[in-house]
Structure 1
Amino acid sequence: MDGSTAGGTRPDFRLKIAKKAETPLVGGRRKFFRYRDLGIADATGGVMRAQVMEAITGMTEPTGWHVHHCQAQFIYVLKGWVELEFEDGSRHRMETGDAGLIPGEMRHNEIATSDDVEILELSIPGPMGTTPCEPPAGMG
């Protein structure tokens, strides 16, 4: 197959089906989460990353203000809830079925989670660094 489609040339991505029992747990940013890699970074050559974050325990304290180095981070709450605050002063409690797109480099802080939260997280591009930062003016 030449990779062409009706709309042009197909991206150089591979089909990837991730069965939960076969997806590895990987290291992650937070000690209260278990991270399950879905193999999407490998299948897309690093263009996108997908993982599921599962609570080991609920948060005991906020993560602190930080930014992610990517174009965008997409989160979808599979179970439970997470509460976040953003540099624009908004605060959101996202519950099961809620989704959000966080632009890369946008300052935010995870404030609290339920003890059973599970979140699907996608980032583009795949590698997503995280750096602590100062809170926005007036937000501490």
Structure 2
Amino acid sequence: MDGTVAGASRPEIRLTVAKKEEQPFVKGRRKFFRYRDLGVQAATGGKLRAQVMEAITGMTEPTGWHTHECEAQFIYVLKGWVELEFEDGTRTRAELGDAILIPGGMKHNEIATSDDVEILELSIPGDMATRACDPPQRD
């Protein structure tokens, strides 16, 4: 049995095994992080991206309000912590084992991180543009 429903074709996704020591660091959005590509974007034809963000240093200042052009961004904290605020007024400190799903286009701001933060980040689709934006208007 190959895991497909009878009569259905297998999606255009390739098996990928990502060994930490073999995964390259790639250019990323933030100068205080280094980004390790896990090969998922290439294996899914761009449908999904997975990368690990590791702190080079802790944040020295907030990122500023921004959005991502994607359907969704998912983060899972592997080590340390990150503080974020969102357009709806939610402010949270995500720590080891915490996860956040951010809808595409939602305004948010990364406020601070620990010096050792490590985050698994997924995005749908794989290409995820970041756009600076004005802070949300709150009453």
Query: What CA deviation, in whole Å up to 9, does each residue of 1:36-60 have, x standing for no partner?
Result: 0001000000000000000000000
Shift of 1:4: 6.9
User: Which residue of structure 2 aligns with residue 85 of structure 1?
Assistant: 85
**CA–CA distance in 2 between the matches of 1:112 and 1:118?**
13
Aligned 1:1-140 pairs, distance under 5 A: 5-6=4-5, 8-138=8-138
Q: Which runs of 4+ in 1 moved over 4 A?
A: none
Shift of 1:10: 2.0
Gaps of 5+ in 1: none
**CA–CA distance in 2 between the matches of 1:35 and 1:87?**
26
Shift of 1:9: 2.8
Shift of 1:137: 1.1
**CA–CA distance in 1 between the matches of 2:124 and 2:11?**
15
Note the aligned Cα RMSD (angstroms): 1.6
Query: What CA deviation, in whole Å up to 9, does each residue of 1:58-112 have, x standing for no partner?
Result: 0000000000000000000000000000000010100000001000000000000
Q: Taking every aligned residue pair, what percent have the same amino acid on both sides?
A: 73
**CA–CA distance in 2 between the matches of 1:116 and 1:45?**
32
What TM-score comes out, normalization by structure 1 length?
A: 0.94
Query: What CA deviation, in whole Å up to 9, does each residue of 1:10-46 have, x standing for no partner?
Result: 2110000000000000000000000000010000000
What TM-score comes out, normalization by structure 2 length?
A: 0.95
**CA–CA distance in 1 between the matches of 2:122 and 2:26?**
15
Call closer, same or farther: CA 1:114–1:4 in 2, change over 3 Å: closer
**CA–CA distance in 2 between the matches of 1:14 and 1:79?**
29
Gaps of 5+ in 2: none
The one-letter code sitting in structure 1 at the alignment partner of 2:25 is L
